[in-house]
Amino acid sequence: MAPLVIPGINLAYFTGPIVLGYMFSFGLYGMLVVQLYVYSQNFPKDRTGIKAVVWTIFVLETLFTFFTIIGAWLFFGQGWGDTELLTHFDWSWAPLPFFNGIIETLAQGFYVWRIWSLTKSIWMPIIISLVMVVQGFAWLYYAIKVDAAGEVFTKLFELTSEITLWLTSSAACDVIITLTLVFILSRRRQTSTSRHTSGLINKMIRFSIETGTITSLAAICEVTLWLACKQYNFHLIFFLILGKLYSNVLLATLNCRVPNDGPSLHIHTNFWSEGGTESGTGMASKVSALHAASRSHNVVHVSRTTQIQDDTPAIVMTDFNSTDRFEKPKPYNPTF
């Protein structure tokens, strides 16, 4: 069968971006499921507020994916060949702006809380929150107006200023958050006297730049495509994936605490966990206590070795504050 041709209209510019948006959105949802599994397995003792944000975002993303599946079926399945659908939204698109806006607000609110927790200063969180308020009013007004105006693509042209304000404020908020985190971590690195700690902070700085750049560039690309060629659907690619980018970046930020050298030791502190409770398996607190003890006086280091000749475990005890601390320690083999 010959392809459908409408004089003066490039159908690929209408249907192609929607296809790509659906494909990328489904792929990012699969990544989100994996990240949620990693998070739930490694950090069951995180703060209740953090877990509430994570699960709320996951539920919203699941609903978003459910409605996009319906939209894909109505557009490319049941409505295949119907040229009227090229210029119309179907009903499944109505809640998508609400889901995207709420997810963006929750993700950015998490970073605002993180900045406040690191600095205990309210000035920068207030500035970022003001940008978030502008962004929130913009996407809420846009979503309500689109639902009230009908399901015609051309109705979006009447909301160019609101859509532009939403996307530019979203990108600006991401840039401010990224720069603030980099500045805070850079100051911590300058005051650190440990090479190991400085290395960890450098990794956190690179991670903050990478994750902040992802969401910022996506918002900038969406607003650019919207302003440059709003008569086509290229901007819908980023509309369908922007919320999932925020969700994956948030889960990646939480999951980066999992060490790369093995699953037995979890980097978990009271900053993330509930107050007064021991996080994970308690290994983090034990390791912290060991490092603190190693810097104090009258320390006795206990190590465990194995003799090759008879495979009998030996415990070596050394008093590093004694006068003969440079002598070779004598193994002590207890009888169990």
User: Facing residues of 319 across strands?
Assistant: 300
The strand pair at 313-319 and 300-306 is best described as antiparallel
Are 185 and 201 in contact, with CB atoms under 8 Å apart?
Answer: yes
Please, which residues have CB within 8 angstroms of residue 111's CB and are 6 or more apart in sequence?
A: 128, 177, 181
Residue partners of 107: CB distance under 8 A and separation at least 6? 57, 246, 247, 249, 250
Instruction: Check whether 62 has a pLDDT greater than 50.
Output: yes
- pTM for this predicted structure: 0.72
Query: For residue 13, what pLDDT band results from cuts at 50, 70 and 90?
Result: confident
Q: How many CA atoms lie within 13 A of 199 on its CB side?
A: 3
Strands (E), the chain: 300-306, 313-319
| Residues in CB range of 192: below 8 A, 6 or more apart | 198, 201
- Which H helix or E strand runs over 212? helix 195-228
Look at residue 145 and give its three-state secondary structure: helix
CA distance 290 to 257: 20
Q: Is the pLDDT of residue 119 over 50?
A: yes
- DSSP calls for 241-278: HHHHHHHHHHHHHHHTTS-SS-SS-----TTTBPTTS-
- Enter the DSSP assignment of 5: -
pLDDT, residue 15, reads 81
The tokens describing 270, both together, are 């009271």
Asked if 51 and 40 count as a contact pair (C-beta separation under 8 A), the reply is no
Please tell me which residue, 92 or 319, carries the higher pLDDT value: 92
From the CA atom positions of the chain, what is the Rg in Å? Answer: 27
Question: pLDDT digit string (tens) for 159-168?
Answer: 778 888 888 8
Instruction: Write the CA distances from 174 to 192, 236, 324, integer angstroms.
Output: 27, 20, 58
What tokens does 132 get?
Answer: 């978030």
Which residues partner with 313 through β-bridges? Answer: 306
Predicted local confidence at residue 37, as pLDDT: 95
Per-chain mean pLDDT for the chain: 75
More confident of the two residues 77 and 335: 77
d(CA 97, CA 71): 14
- CATH for the stretch 11-255: 1.20.1070
Kindly tell me if the per-residue pLDDT of 330 is higher than 60.
no
Cβ atoms of 108 and 128 closer than 8 Å: yes
- DSSP secondary structure letter of residue 152: B
* pLDDT given at position 79: 65
Q: Please, which pLDDT band fits residue 154 given cuts at 50, 70 and 90?
A: low
* Cα within 13 Å of Cα(235), Cβ side: 20
